[in-house]
Amino acid sequence: YYDHWQTLKALKYFNSARSVSETSVVLWEIFYCLFELICLDKAKVVMDKIVELEGPSMNTTRQYIGIYDAMGNRDKTLEYCEEYLKYEPQSSEDKEVLAGISNVMFSIYHDRKDRKNAEASLKRAMKYTNDSETLTIMNRSLEFLNNASKSWK
């Protein structure tokens, strides 16, 4: 683990390690550094290389969601969210991630005034959320969606 202030230094060392042996372990560390530094285009290129070496996975798909969401590319964010939904959550952490991704989808669909998909995304998030306070907030969001969507054309 490297702290935020040491990210540039860490990136330098990981790139040196990459020049010796380009392994997926080193590439993951480079990716995390680039993402933390908000070098999203470069982080995406590194993620592409990781997928080339390891193949697609829940984790790589989740990282693409993060990249495209941070870039503001809503279409690509939704594309990778839909891809992520194809994976079956195996652990409680996977379920938490799925709830978070469903919230991202809800936000995008809500902004697009797509009530049907926004509601489905929020209900999916609720299905994978165990925290009662978060569920209360989500129920309020669902009520808000139902009221707000009446004025959408």
Encode pLDDT of 4-58 as tens digits: 768 888 888 888 888 898 899 999 999 999 999 999 999 999 999 999 999 999 9
Give residue 17's pLDDT: 87
| pLDDT higher than 80, residue 143 | yes
pLDDT bracket for residue 86 (50, 70, 90):
very high
> Could you give the CA distance from residue 126 to residue 135 in angstroms, rounded to a whole number?
6
| pLDDT higher than 60, residue 114 | yes
pLDDT bracket for residue 111 (50, 70, 90):
very high
> Could you give the CA distance from residue 91 to residue 68 in angstroms, rounded to a whole number?
25
| pLDDT higher than 90, residue 74 | yes
Encode pLDDT of 126-141 as tens digits: 999 888 888 898 889 8
| pLDDT higher than 70, residue 153 | no
Give residue 42's pLDDT: 96
DSSP letters, 12-33, are HHHHHHHHH---HHHHHHHHHH
For the chain, what is the mean pLDDT? 91
Cα-Cα-Cα-Cα dihedral sign, residues 35, 48, 107, 98 = negative
